[in-house]
């Protein structure tokens, strides 16, 4: 765990412990539950809500799980939690003296979300920033994740106070940025990239959601929200494109039916590959 507290790959563990960025991180870093052993923590970020961050998080989780990895999803989007609904999960999550137990999806993904702890998942969460950030910290310290290869964190949207504190609280190994063609893609990607850079966290890929609609009759790709801009945005910053996700009504249907465990998503292959490479590097380092 100590080695993972500073993700600046350019410094050795010894020299890192004294560096400014490591100190800054340590002052905010939350302790992992003693019954958890998580190899990789990945943040899924977006500029605003509604661009499909949860859809991408769950899709990546499904693909990794199908590939045989042990996967968890931390729903850190406290004010707009949607992961439990997508998988048809209801609370309350069980707890024992050692911590809170995540709830398991049909495809064996461990999930923790505020909606699995609240008596009524329909009631709004009206907490202020510091309490929201503390809740996420507790998802790390108090939840018994057990052994996981990947913990995917569905981050609060934006680059404000709450996502920033979450970034500083968790030992995030890399982020995936989700955008849509409706957004000012260049600016959103740059902001997320800069936030990650400030914290020495690598960007593993940029995913464009709602990229196009495939005509069910002729197969033609229709750019409903305008021409894709993700290639240019990624190129400018030297980032990899993690995938271009079409508008796919079957994904919405599975999500709305609470049956997302059955969803497969071939469009995110590049992002999945970037995550898997992380694990290969980890294995070779050990």
Q: Measured from the CB of residue 190, what is the shortest distance to ligand ADP in angstroms?
A: 19
Alpha helix ranges (H) inside the chain: 13-16, 20-28, 53-66, 83-87, 129-141, 161-169, 185-198, 230-237, 249-256, 269-285
Q: Which is nearer to ligand ADP, 46 or 65 (CB)?
A: 46
Q: Which helix (H) or strand (E) holds 72?
A: strand 71-75
Q: Which is nearer to ligand ADP, 50 or 129 (CB)?
A: 50
Q: Measured from the CB of residue 271, what is the shortest distance to ligand ADP in angstroms?
A: 14
Q: How far apart are CA 112 and CA 105, in angstroms?
A: 11
Q: Which is nearer to ligand ADP, 31 or 256 (CB)?
A: 256
Q: Measured from the CB of residue 247, what is the shortest distance to ligand ADP in angstroms?
A: 4
- Strand ranges of the sheet holding 110-113, from the earlier edge strand across to the other edge: 103-104, 110-113, 71-75, 146-154, 36-46, 174-179, 203-208, 241-244
Q: Measured from the CB of residue 22, what is the shortest distance to ligand ADP in angstroms?
A: 31
Token pair of 122 as six digits: 């329909």
Residues lying near ligand ADP in the complex (CB under 6 A): 46, 49-55, 80, 82, 209-210, 245, 247-248, 251-252, 255
The torsion angles phi and psi of 150, rounded to 5 degrees, stand at -135, 130
Q: Which is nearer to ligand ADP, 32 or 212 (CB)?
A: 212
Count Cα atoms within 13 angstroms, Cβ side, for 191. Answer: 18
Q: Measured from the CB of residue 3, what is the shortest distance to ligand ADP in angstroms?
A: 31
Q: Measured from the CB of residue 250, what is the shortest distance to ligand ADP in angstroms?
A: 8
Q: Which is nearer to ligand ADP, 55 or 100 (CB)?
A: 55
Q: Which is nearer to ligand ADP, 102 or 157 (CB)?
A: 157
Q: Measured from the CB of residue 148, what is the shortest distance to ligand ADP in angstroms?
A: 21
Q: How far apart are CA 256 and CA 269, in angstroms?
A: 24
Q: Which is nearer to ligand ADP, 13 or 264 (CB)?
A: 264
3-state helix/strand/coil string of 138-198: HHHHCECCEEEEEEEEECCCCCCHHHHHHHHHCCCCEEEEEECCCCCHHHHHHHHHHHHHH
Q: Which is nearer to ligand ADP, 46 or 159 (CB)?
A: 46
Q: How far apart are CA 242 and CA 152, in angstroms?
A: 15
Q: Measured from the CB of residue 14, what is the shortest distance to ligand ADP in angstroms?
A: 40
Tokens 């605003």 found at: 48
Token pair of 18 as six digits: 């004294």
User: What are the Cα distances from residue 148, in Å, to 42, 52, 56, 109, 231?
Assistant: 12, 24, 19, 10, 32
């Amino acid at each position: 765990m100590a080695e993972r507290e500073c993700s600046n790959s350019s410094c050795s563990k010894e020299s890192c412990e004294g560096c400014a960025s490591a100190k800054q991180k340590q002052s905010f870093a939350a302790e992992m539950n003693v019954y958890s052993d998580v190899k990789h923590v990945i943040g899924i970020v977006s500029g605003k809500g509604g661009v499909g961050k949860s859809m991408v998080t769950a899709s990546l989780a499904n693909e990794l799980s199908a590939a045989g990895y042990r996967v968890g999803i931390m729903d850190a989007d406290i004010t707009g939690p949607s992961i439990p609904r997508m998988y048809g999960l209801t609370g309350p999550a069980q707890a024992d003296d050692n911590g809170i137990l995540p709830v398991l999806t049909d495809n064996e993904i461990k999930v923790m979300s505020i909606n699995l702890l609240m008596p009524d998942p329909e009631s709004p969460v009206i907490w202020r920033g510091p309490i929201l950030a503390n809740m996420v910290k507790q998802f790390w310290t108090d939840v018994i994740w057990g052994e996981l290869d990947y913990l995917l964190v569905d981050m609060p949207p934006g680059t404000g106070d709450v996502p920033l504190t979450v970034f500083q609280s968790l030992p995030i190994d890399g982020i995936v940025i989700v955008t849509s063609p409706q957004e000012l893609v260049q600016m959103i990607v740059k902001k997320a990239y800069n936030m990650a850079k400030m914290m020495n966290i690598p960007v593993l890929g940029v995913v464009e959601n709602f990229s196009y609609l495939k005509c069910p009759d002729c197969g033609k790709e229709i750019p409903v929200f305008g021409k894709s801009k993700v290639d240019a945005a990624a190129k400018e910053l030297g980032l990899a494109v993690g995938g271009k996700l079409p508008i796919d009504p079957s994904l919405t249907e599975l999500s709305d039916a609470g049956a997302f465990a059955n969803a497969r998503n071939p469009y995110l292959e590049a992002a999945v590959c970037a995550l898997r490479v992380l694990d290969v590097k980890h294995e070779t380092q050990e």
